[in-house]
Structure 1
Amino acid sequence: MLDLVESKLSQHEAFRADVLAGLSQRQKTLPSRWLYDQRGSELFEEITHLDEYYLTRTETAILRRHAGEMAALCGDNVVLLEYGAGAGIKSEILIDALKAPRMYVPIDIAADFLAQTAERVRDRFPGLVTRPIITDFTADFDIPSDIPAHPRAAFFPGSTLGNLGGSEAAALLRRMREHVGDHGEAIIGVDLRKDVATLIAAYDDRRGVTAEFNLNLLRRINRELEGDLDIMAFAHEARWNEPESAIEMHLVSRKPQVATVAGRSFAFAQGETIHTETCRKFDIAALTHAAQRSGWRVDRIWSDPAELFAVFGLRTEARALRLSSAAAQA
Structure 2
Amino acid sequence: MNVHAPALADAHLPDEQTSVFAKDAVEDLSQHPKRLSPKYFYDAAGSELFEAITRLPEYYPTRTELGILKECGSAIAAIIPAGAALVEFGAGATTKVRRLLEKSALGAYVPVDISGDFIRGQADALRRDFPRLAVYPVAADFTAPFELPAAIAALPKVGFFPGSTIGNFEPHEACRFLRSARDILGDGALMIVGVDLEKDERVLYHAYNDAAGVTARFNLNVLVRINRELGGNFDLSAFTHRAIYNRERHRIEMHLIAKKSQTVRLLGTSFSFRAGETIHTENSYKYSVERFAALARGAGWKVKETWTDPARMFSVHAMVAVD
TM-score bracket relative to the smaller structure: over 0.9
5+ residue gaps, structure 2: 1-13
Residue 10 of structure 1: CA displacement? 2.2
TM-score, structure 1 normalization: 0.92
Q: Distance in 1 between matches of 2:139 and 2:65?
A: 25
2:130 pairs with 1:113: no
TM-score, structure 2 normalization: 0.94
2:46 pairs with 1:46: no
Q: Distance in 2 between matches of 1:162 and 1:11?
A: 25
Q: Distance in 1 between matches of 2:259 and 2:103?
A: 49
The number of equivalent residue pairs is 310
The aligned runs of 1:57-72 (5 Å cut-off) are: 57-72=63-78
RMSD: 1.2
Identify which of 10, 17, 22 aligns with 1:11: 17
Q: Distance in 2 between matches of 1:218 and 1:300?
A: 40
Q: Could you list the runs of 4 or more consecutive aligned residues of structure 1 that deviate by over 6 angstroms after TM superposition? A: none
Q: Which has the higher contact order (CA 8 A, sep 6+)?
A: 2
Residue 163 of structure 2 contacts residue 195 of structure 2 at CA under 8 Å; is this kept in 1? yes
Q: What corresponds to 2:232 in structure 1?
A: 227
Q: What corresponds to 1:313 in structure 2?
A: 318
The aligned runs of 1:288-327 (5 Å cut-off) are: 288-317=293-322
2:141 pairs with 1:136: yes
Q: Secondary structure at the match of 1:51?
A: coil
Residue 73 of structure 1: CA displacement? 1.0
Residue 243 of structure 1: CA displacement? 2.2
Residue 117 of structure 1: CA displacement? 1.1
Residue 63 of structure 1: CA displacement? 0.2
Q: Distance in 2 between matches of 1:28 and 1:139?
A: 23
Residue 317 of structure 1: CA displacement? 2.2
Q: What corresponds to 2:171 in structure 1?
A: 166
Q: Distance in 1 between matches of 2:136 and 2:276?
A: 45
Q: Secondary structure at the match of 2:72?
A: helix
Residue 124 of structure 1: CA displacement? 1.1
Q: What corresponds to 1:280 in structure 2?
A: 285
2:45 pairs with 1:34: no
Residue 60 of structure 1: CA displacement? 0.2
Letter in 2 for 1:146: A
Q: Distance in 1 between matches of 2:217 and 2:246?
A: 22
Residue 138 of structure 1 contacts residue 168 of structure 1 at CA under 8 Å; is this kept in 2? no
Q: Secondary structure at the match of 2:283?
A: strand
Residue 150 of structure 1 contacts residue 183 of structure 1 at CA under 8 Å; is this kept in 2? no
Q: Distance in 2 between matches of 1:235 and 1:165?
A: 24
The aligned runs of 1:205-284 (5 Å cut-off) are: 205-284=210-289
Seen in structure 2, the aligned counterparts of structure 1 residues 279 and 149 have a Cα distance that, compared at 3 Å, is farther
Q: What corresponds to 1:25 in structure 2?
A: 31
2:138 pairs with 1:151: no
Residue 187 of structure 1: CA displacement? 0.6
5+ residue gaps, structure 1: 1-7, 319-330
Q: Distance in 2 between matches of 1:15 and 1:108?
A: 15
Residue 149 of structure 1: CA displacement? 4.0
Letter in 2 for 1:17: K
Sequence identity (%): 44
